[in-house]
Amino acid sequence: MADKPSDLVQGTLDMLILKTLALEPMHGYGIAVRLEQMSKGVFRLNAGSLFVAFQRLQRDGLIRSEWKATENSRRAKYYALTEQGRKRLNSETREWGRQVAAIARILEAS
Amino acid sequence: MSLLRGITGGLRSLFRKERVGRELDEELNSFLEMAAEEKVRQGMSRKDALRAVRLERGNLEVTKEVVRSAGWESFVETLWQDLRHGQRILRKSPGFAVVAVLTLALGIGATSAIFSVVNAVLLRPLAMEDPSHVVFVQETWRDIFPGVAVGNFVDLKRQSTSFAELCASNDASFNLEARELPERVDGEIATANYFTTFGVQPIAGRVFTADEDKPGQPHVVVISERLWRAKLHSDPSIVGQPIRINGLPTTVLGVMPRSFDPLLSSSDLWVPAAFSAGQLADHDNHYLNVMARLKPGTSQAQAQSELNVIAQWLQKQYPIDDQDRGFRLQPLATALLGDQRLGLRMMLAAVGFLLLIACANIANLQLARSRTRQKEIAMRAAVGASPNRIVRQLLAENVVLGLAGGVVGVLLAYWAVAWIIAHGPAEMPRLDQSRIDASTLAFAWAVALLSSLLFGLAPALRSASTHLSEVFKSSSGISGGSRDRVRSLLVVGEVSLALILMAGAGLLIRSALLVSHLDPGFDTSNVVVGRVGLPDPGYHDPALARQTFERMITATSALPGVKSVAVVSRAPLAGGGSSNGLLAEGKPFDMANLVNSQLQIISPSYLSTARVPLKAGRDFTPQDARDRTLVTIVNETLARTMWPGENPIGKRFACCEAGPKGRVDPVWHEVVGVVADVRAWGLDRQVQPEFYIPLAQMPASAWDWIGRTMDLVVRTRSGAVPIHELQNTVASVAAVPIYRLSTMQQKISSTLERSHFDTFLLAIFASTALLLSSVGIYGVLSYMVAQRTRDIGIRMALGASQAQIVWDVLGFGLRLAGIGLAVGLAAALAATRLLSSLLYGVRPTDAVTFAAVSFILLVVALIASYLPARRATRVDPLVALRYE
């Protein structure tokens, strides 16, 4: 299981889900596919970690969910970003940028 | 906000489990379908696509479990499961469960009961506004802490700046005429700001003003709610009404709430102190209770240093009265309850030990069970339970035990608290307020949980860490051969804790035995004592007061069954008394030469009525009148202190009053007799120097010192006590009550009540501890014998004698007890030192006591070890070997 979520940097899965939802509301499978596409196959997500993350984000009030019909007229639970989620995404993106820059500086220095 | 959502989300999945589960199913299914569709579109068969998705995304059933267990609600759910499982397991071994729950209930019950007493007596704040700012002021002189002289109080009040309020009061009792017979009521004289110092308002009416707290004002009184209800029929219009106090109509100004008892003295009424000009200038009589409220921001240390400065000023100002005097400041709660701390802490420590022993016993039982349950647990581990989950499950089982023990323990505590209130020492303030309240329940709950962790953790960890292969490899009935070290350690711990308790109890018992054999110094059988106080307004004249008491003696002597009657200012064991500095003739007048001694004013018949043995000289006679030579009788301690090695008869000392030439003009009293020491302050108290002067020769002012109150001492022919006749006779001579009426023997036992109570409780705790630890020894040895049945069988088959087998088991038991004994002795030697102030005539390291308790412990350990040892000899080698 080389694609275990622990391969992601701790805590980044939440941020990536939020980023994915920033464009439009999406169902679970859509999120998984979008993440894989955007990462060009680097991340392959296990359903377990994905749905645990959904539950966590929803309880934290960062996303909300709604049952809707898909384009293939199948019922699916769609997740959407809340206002609070949008704020969190912004702040986390900024923080992430800062940290990556800092880590890069350290790695280059040595 | 998100916390709330987390909680509601969790609750939703807890209580609407099915619906939430269905939703999750549906969502995961649609996920699966969509992923599969994608694969089908790329050309896979539907079956292959589904398998590929499972491979890529993980098993959906597992996913469901993972999602479900990620929320907090799943923890609650498994906890609930574990608790139910624990309860089922326990129901399967009812014997163990009952023993464990009862043992635990004993520990938790005793701990909770003592805690509720400690909580009521020591921990609850005093019922007043901001009690932490209220302090108690005493004088210090040599090594005693007398009350404050009125003059010193006045100067303190004038000069100090640390206090928002500084007030004074003095205990007093009053004759109240509200019902058929006059009654005696305890109360206080108090300065006007007494009530504002404590910040408590009356529930009706008002308190007295500074103007009313002056001599010559109309008589007013503030009464307690208790008095109002019990003796004044809860009269709603009582405020403004007169009641008769000490024979005078006195207007009731207000009623204080039931909780108002700032000095824990159960006062029922307060009258203005109304100090006279003479009293305000008096620096010689030290008796006032002085209480103060610190100004906000002023620390106790700052106030104390200010008092030190004032004390120095007073020493210069009044060199005779205030020489060597200082002030001591204490938080009021410390001053009132400090005496209770040692005994109660000792009890709390004792029940804590008991609880620990109980826990050790249950841990031992659990360890034994965990051996026999190894296979069950290994099986669970084999089918996939994580060690974490197994520990949790075993702990949950113990929590079930702990909670059951807690519930039974609280029931026990209810009963124990009721018993303690009924039989506890009357002198312990606030004891009657002990109850099983919310804080006690919280305490019991915490103790139950904590102890279940305490006795559950070791066995649980042990079980969880067992390796599967070992369990299934080893066949039943053979121990690893190593004696179980943890269990042995637990037993050693139990034994040493038990020994500490036994040593403490043993010392208290020995001390109580010694005290009960002490000679009180007089004949206490067939003596009845009661106090009689004459009100100042009607009996101000000293001659009238004396004649009234003499008439009371004559009238009482005529009662049937009465042998002789006398009065004394303070009967033995009545508490209180007045201290006087005596100057032996021939010594220069100097504070250092004064011998502090207790004064007793007696009718000539007193020493013969009480049967205080005369050691030398003569008794008083009716001829010792005021116009003859002033005479005195001293006790042996005073004779020895004042004239060591000399015959005191005929010697003189100055005391009690000043001659016509002023304060340093001596008035001499001649010693005509020496009597035996009377243990007047309790059997277990040091005898003080004491002297007697006849009623007929007492100085007039002495009537004020003793508050015109004396003890009537009646010696009867047999045990029968004419209580009612006594009350009627006294009331017929002067319309006053006789109160605190009891036999001398009752008085003696009431002074010993406290120490007997402590002794009794500690003895109960110690014997319970001994019992529990012997059960512990028995348990470990029985288990050892059961585990080694095969070893024993082999040894017997090889020719070992029964004696050898017995000795082997006994030896192990005694070794455990011996180590526990040694550890316990060392700890007890250190711990019992704390008891020294509770002991009389026994040193805290008393060898006899320590030897006795060690002996008892070893005998009990021997018995506890013998039973399993005997069982070992019954092992049939054939059966044992066939055991496989």
Three-state DSSP class for B342? helix
Q: Can you give the pLDDT at residue B61?
A: 74
| CB-based contact, A6 to chain B, within 8 Å | no
For residue B281, report the phi and psi dihedrals to the nearest 5 degrees.
Answer: -100, 5
Closest CA to A11 of A53, A47, A42, A48: A53
Specify the range with the lowest mean pLDDT, choosing from B69-73, B417-421, B523-527, B624-628: B69-73
Give a three-class secondary structure readout of B819-855.
HHHHHHHHHHHHHHHHHHHHCCCCCCCCHHHHHHHHH
> Taking the CB of residue B528, how many other CB atoms lie within 10 A of it?
24
The per-residue pLDDT for range B790-843, each reduced to its tens digit, is 888 888 888 888 888 888 889 988 999 999 999 999 999 988 888 888 888 889
Residues of A in contact with B13 (CB under 8 A): none
Longest Cα pair distance anywhere in chain A, in angstroms? 56
Whether residues B30 and A60 touch (CB distance < 8 A) is answered with no
Percent of chain B scored above 70 by pLDDT?
94
Residues of B in contact with A74 (CB under 8 A): 30, 33-34
How far A37 CA sits from the closest chain B CA (Å)? 14
How far B76 CA sits from the closest chain A CA (Å)? 17
| CB-based contact, A34 to chain B, within 8 Å | no
Q: How many CA atoms lie within 13 A of B171 on its CB side?
A: 12
**The pLDDT of residue B718 is above 90:** no
Residues of A in contact with B66 (CB under 8 A): 48-49, 51-52
The per-residue pLDDT for range B170-208, each reduced to its tens digit, is 988 898 988 777 888 999 999 999 999 999 999 999 999
The per-residue pLDDT for range B48-59, each reduced to its tens digit, is 888 888 777 777
**How far is Cα B188 from Cα B169, in angstroms, rounded to an integer?**
6
User: A71-97 burial by CB neighbour count: b if 16+ within 10 A, else e?
Assistant: eeeeebbbbebbeebeebbeebeeeee
Whether residues B58 and A46 touch (CB distance < 8 A) is answered with yes
Whether residues B28 and A33 touch (CB distance < 8 A) is answered with no
Residues of B in contact with A59 (CB under 8 A): 2, 5-6, 9-10, 71
| CB-based contact, B27 to chain A, within 8 Å | yes
**How far is Cα A50 from Cα B130, in angstroms, rounded to an integer?**
57
Whether residues A60 and B2 touch (CB distance < 8 A) is answered with yes
pTM, full prediction? 0.75
Task: Please count the residue pairs, one from chain A and one from chain B, whose beta carbons lie less than 8 angstroms apart.
Answer: 74
**How far is Cα B387 from Cα B384, in angstroms, rounded to an integer?**
9
Q: DSSP string covering chain A, please?
A: -TT-GGGSPTTHHHHHHHHHHHHS-EEHHHHHHHHHHHTTTS----HHHHHHHHHHHHHTTSEEEEEEE-TTS-EEEEEEE-HHHHHHHHHHHHHHHHHHHHHHHHHHH-
Whether residues B2 and A59 touch (CB distance < 8 A) is answered with yes
- Quote the strand ranges of B155-272, DSSP E: 163-177, 183-190, 204-205, 220-224, 242-245, 248-256, 269-272
| CB-based contact, A60 to chain B, within 8 Å | yes
**pLDDT tens per residue, chain A (110 residues)?**
334 434 556 568 888 888 888 888 888 888 888 888 887 777 777 777 788 888 888 888 889 888 888 777 778 888 998 999 899 899 988 988 898 888 888 888 76
Cβ distance B601 to B702 under 8 Å?
A: yes
> Taking the CB of residue B396, how many other CB atoms lie within 10 A of it?
24
| CB-based contact, B11 to chain A, within 8 Å | no
**The pLDDT of residue B707 is above 90:** no
| CB-based contact, A58 to chain B, within 8 Å | yes
Nearest chain B alpha carbon to A72: B34
Cβ distance B222 to B191 under 8 Å?
A: no
Give me the count of residues in chain B.
Answer: 884
Specify the range with the lowest mean pLDDT, choosing from B328-342, B363-377, B610-624: B363-377
**The pLDDT of residue B435 is above 50:** yes
Closest CA to B630 of B612, B656, B661, B606: B656
- DSSP percent split of chain B into helix, strand, coil, nearest 5: 55, 15, 30
Q: Can you give the pLDDT at residue B578?
A: 67
Nearest chain A alpha carbon to B2: A60
DSSP for residue B209: P
Average pLDDT over residues B225-247: 91
Distances from the Cα of B142 to the Cαs of B145, B324, B348, B592, B611, in angstroms? 8, 7, 34, 10, 34
Q: Can you give the pLDDT at residue B312?
A: 94
Three-state DSSP class for B289? strand
The minimal CB distance from B30 to the residues A33, A52, A75 is found for A75
Q: Can you give the pLDDT at residue B883?
A: 56
CA B238 to chain CA centroid, Å, is 38
ipTM greater than 0.90, yes or no? no
Closest CA to B404 of B806, B28, B91, B735: B91
- Quote the strand ranges of B607-698, DSSP E: 614-617, 631-635, 652-654, 668-675, 690-694
DSSP for residue B476: T
Tokens of A33: 């596919």
pLDDT band per the 50, 70, 90 thresholds, residue B85: confident
The class level of CATH for A5-109 reads: mainly alpha
Tokens of A4: 């275990």
Q: Which residues touch B605 (CB under 8 Å, ≥6 apart)? A: B553, B564, B565, B566
Element (H, E) at B802: helix B802-831
CA A3 to chain CA centroid, Å, is 15
The per-residue pLDDT for range B140-174, each reduced to its tens digit, is 987 788 889 999 999 999 999 999 999 999 988 89
Average pLDDT over residues B596-603: 91
Q: DSSP string covering B236-251, please?
A: TT-TT-EEEETTEEEE
pLDDT band per the 50, 70, 90 thresholds, residue B482: very low
Whether residues A55 and B9 touch (CB distance < 8 A) is answered with yes
The per-residue pLDDT for range B446-470, each reduced to its tens digit, is 988 888 888 888 777 777 666 655 6
Domain ranges within chain A, ordered by starting residue: 5-109
CA B783 to chain CA centroid, Å, is 40
**How far is Cα B65 from Cα A52, in angstroms, rounded to an integer?**
10
The per-residue pLDDT for range B87-122, each reduced to its tens digit, is 888 888 888 888 889 999 999 999 999 999 999 988
Which residues sit opposite B291 in a β-bridge? B136, B167
Q: How many CA atoms lie within 13 A of B505 on its CB side?
A: 26
| CB-based contact, A51 to chain B, within 8 Å | yes
**The pLDDT of residue B854 is above 90:** yes
Q: Is B232 exposed, middle or buried (0-12, 13-18, 19+ CB in 10 A)?
A: middle
Q: Can you give the pLDDT at residue B470?
A: 61
Q: Can you give the pLDDT at residue B575?
A: 65
Q: Can you give the pLDDT at residue B786?
A: 80
**How far is Cα B378 from Cα B370, in angstroms, rounded to an integer?**
11
Average pLDDT, chain B: 87
pLDDT band per the 50, 70, 90 thresholds, residue B488: confident
Tokens of B482: 């190593």
Percent of chain B scored above 90 by pLDDT?
42
| CB-based contact, A88 to chain B, within 8 Å | no
Q: Is B318 exposed, middle or buried (0-12, 13-18, 19+ CB in 10 A)?
A: middle
**The pLDDT of residue B511 is above 80:** yes
**The pLDDT of residue B477 is above 70:** no
**How far is Cα B709 from Cα B705, in angstroms, rounded to an integer?**
9
Cβ distance B145 to B325 under 8 Å?
A: no
Q: How many CA atoms lie within 13 A of A42 on its CB side?
A: 7
Whether residues A51 and B67 touch (CB distance < 8 A) is answered with yes
**How far is Cα B267 from Cα B585, in angstroms, rounded to an integer?**
43
**The pLDDT of residue B424 is above 50:** yes
- Quote the strand ranges of B618-708, DSSP E: 631-635, 652-654, 668-675, 690-694
Q: Can you give the pLDDT at residue B479?
A: 44
The minimal CB distance from B70 to the residues A27, A46, A52 is found for A52
Which residues sit opposite B15 in a β-bridge? none
Average pLDDT over residues B744-757: 84
